[in-house]
Amino acid sequence: MKRMLFTLVAILFVPLFLYGQADQIVGTWYTEKGTSTVDVYKGTDGKYHGKISWLEEPLENGKPKVDSENSDPQLAKRPIMGLALVKGFKYSSGKEQWVNGTIYDPDNGKTYDCFAWFEDGNFNKLYIKGYVMGIRALGRKTEWKRK
């Protein structure tokens, strides 16, 4: 009887624990240089996305900064404020990472595959690594701090 009760409790609460782990990424994050923040949220698609919510210097020549480094002329006109910076993260409980996402770098106008994780149980520092050609070793890691 005790085993059955334990099994029932485990079946009910393990999904809740994993759901809670996945949502640890949700919140407002200062980017590595501290010159912007990104609001990360869970979309209606069940994946995690993030948009720029604050810029230390939101204006350039008296006008809102735009995505001028983007090679697409239409996209180069869009404002940086509110720009989708990370998209499509899915939580992998086995890896304890958010995987299969992309990150956009407005400094060079390019989008990279990426994944994110926390280290040592510290949920106030989010590590994100963007990489190219599907090879995680060919990339750059950045650290965001929770606001």
Least confident range from 6-20, 22-36, 63-77, 81-95: namely 6-20
- DSSP letter at 79 equals B
* Residue 35 pLDDT greater than 90, yes or no: yes
- Residues 4-22 have a mean pLDDT of 47
> Which amino acid belongs to residue 123?
F
Per-domain residue ranges of the chain: 2-146
Cα(96)–Cα(63) distance, integer angstroms: 41
pTM attached to this predicted model: 0.84
Q: Which numeric CATH code is attached to 2-146? A: 2.40.128.520
The two structure tokens encoding residue 74: 């239409």
- What are the pLDDT digits (tens) for 50-77? 999 999 999 999 999 999 999 999 999 9
Any idea which residue has 């990426």 for tokens? 114
- Smallest CA-to-CA distance from 22 within 36, 4, 41 is with 41
Per-residue pLDDT band at 20 (split at 50, 70, 90): low
